[in-house]
A and B are shown apart, each in its own frame.
Chain A
């Protein structure tokens, strides 16, 4: 049983889903297919994995400033992660969620947590509360 408290960056509903902890920085534009939520960068260690419906742990974001557009499109097409956990707030990426809320779409919660804890959560089924409490068996 693990239990960690993350900081809520952007409000969203609580969820229960499998954890996917990325082991390398990701560029959403060029790195994630906006139509499916598959990681599409052949040089990324988690290439081919699906971020849709997961509790996605992101150690670092890199690359193009179009990340928000990809995330908005994932939300719009219902291929977004169930929750997004960042090592540090990234305005470029989170803008996708801010705009999704403005557009009235159902938007996942965004949390902040130190990346040192990511690997211990990978692969577990997690419950994430709307207050940012992450619990897993």
Chain B
């Protein structure tokens, strides 16, 4: 069945052959309804096993017990059965949307089959491994068969940047802040869609967590699977190389006004006078991001719930260093294995307002949780959690 699914997809996408893959990241173990559980159990019943390393994206349940959800008994049961089925298929219990920060980093140029839109963008762009945007079912089918259809971003010619996204006219101080990159990602995703772009005009080398935030937001507003950053990502030592020395179809000169507009679009609750909850960690928080959170909180107690979503690879370190206890005594709820937009963790509250520093949460929270959103920096999120009111720092430009 796995090979039939891979072959049928190859036919549909016009791929001429299947290629061997080295690893997979599986987005399919998140419960959306009983059908997904029944599919996974069908594979288990047939004796299927993964042929390559396969890490798991988030599930619907926090198996570490850090947080609780409001799934009804039937859904809880089916979601748990689904998570167990994927483990029985041989997948690693990583349960994170940032597998690349949990030790799964395929090498430059290797062929892989990854799911989860932010993981795909990071894997292609920052690691330089080659994957299409794999969806549920095809990801596990590729992991079991060890094969993927040869089309799209698996092929060198399709990794060429055709659009230049020029940041040289934008305030560099703003670009150096964590608040800038989801804003950039929102704009990039909307303007570039499914094309491959190269970002130019940065006066510094972007660090991993801001590229993670950028890719996640760009992949929510557009079908972005691969972006290049001239001088920073592995296939873009410079702009011309990213373009494969071929002229670009389009050059977008980004202005401060375009960024202000994108920043406004990230919020849906602009006139809110209170904040009901704060959520950070989409993609899952790294150890460094938890360090920022602890520094900003400085031991203060929060007035409204703050949900910090992460993977168990980070939770282990927080526990080792006593940071989990420290954060929880401030009132922070750590959410592991899952996150607040994929499973009902936020309290049910009509008209509630969620503050976040994540462009991806900002994009999906209104439809998935019913909360309207306010977008701000990590510092804004912490101050808002402490006071219960929207707190924004001075404009950066």
Q: Which residues of A contact B (CB under 8 A)?
A: 9-10, 25, 27, 29-31, 34-35, 40-43, 60-70, 72-73, 75-77, 89, 91-96, 98-100, 102-103, 105
Q: How long is the Cα–Cα vector from A7 to B374 in the complex, in angstroms?
A: 43
CB neighbours of A64 from chain B (8 A): 116-117, 219-220, 364
The answer to whether B222 and A68 have CB atoms under 8 Å apart is no
The answer to whether A68 and B367 have CB atoms under 8 Å apart is no
CB neighbours of B368 from chain A (8 A): 30
CB neighbours of A62 from chain B (8 A): 189, 193, 220-223
CB neighbours of A10 from chain B (8 A): 12
Is the C-beta of B13 less than 8 angstroms from some C-beta in chain A? yes
**SS of B interface (majority):** helix
Q: How long is the Cα–Cα vector from A100 to B136 in the complex, in angstroms?
A: 12
The answer to whether A102 and B220 have CB atoms under 8 Å apart is no
Q: Which size bracket describes the interface of B in this complex?
A: 35 or more
A98-B9, A103-B35, A103-B42 known; A66-B30 Cβ under 8 A: yes
Chain B's closest residue to A110 (CB) is B12
Is the C-beta of B349 less than 8 angstroms from some C-beta in chain A? no
A34-B32, A64-B220, A66-B30 known; A95-B133 Cβ under 8 A: no
Q: How long is the Cα–Cα vector from A69 to B33 in the complex, in angstroms?
A: 8
The answer to whether B223 and A102 have CB atoms under 8 Å apart is no
Q: How long is the Cα–Cα vector from A68 to B116 in the complex, in angstroms?
A: 12
Is the C-beta of B173 less than 8 angstroms from some C-beta in chain A? no
> Which of A63, A73, A96, A100 has a CB less than 8 Å from the CB of B223?
A63
CB neighbours of B33 from chain A (8 A): 34-35, 69, 72-73, 76-77
Chain B's closest residue to A44 (CB) is B367
The answer to whether A75 and B35 have CB atoms under 8 Å apart is yes
Task: Known A-B contacts: A42-B366, A65-B115, A65-B116. Give 7 more (CB < 8 A).
Answer: A30-B368, A42-B268, A63-B363, A89-B13, A91-B132, A91-B149, A103-B42
The answer to whether A66 and B367 have CB atoms under 8 Å apart is no
Question: Which 7 pairs show the lowest CB-CB distances between chains A and B?
Answer: A73-B33, A92-B135, A76-B35, A69-B136, A68-B135, A65-B135, A69-B32
- Distance in Å from the Cβ of A47 to the closest Cβ of chain B? 9
The answer to whether A95 and B220 have CB atoms under 8 Å apart is no
- Distance in Å from the Cβ of A72 to the closest Cβ of chain B? 5
The answer to whether B367 and A95 have CB atoms under 8 Å apart is no
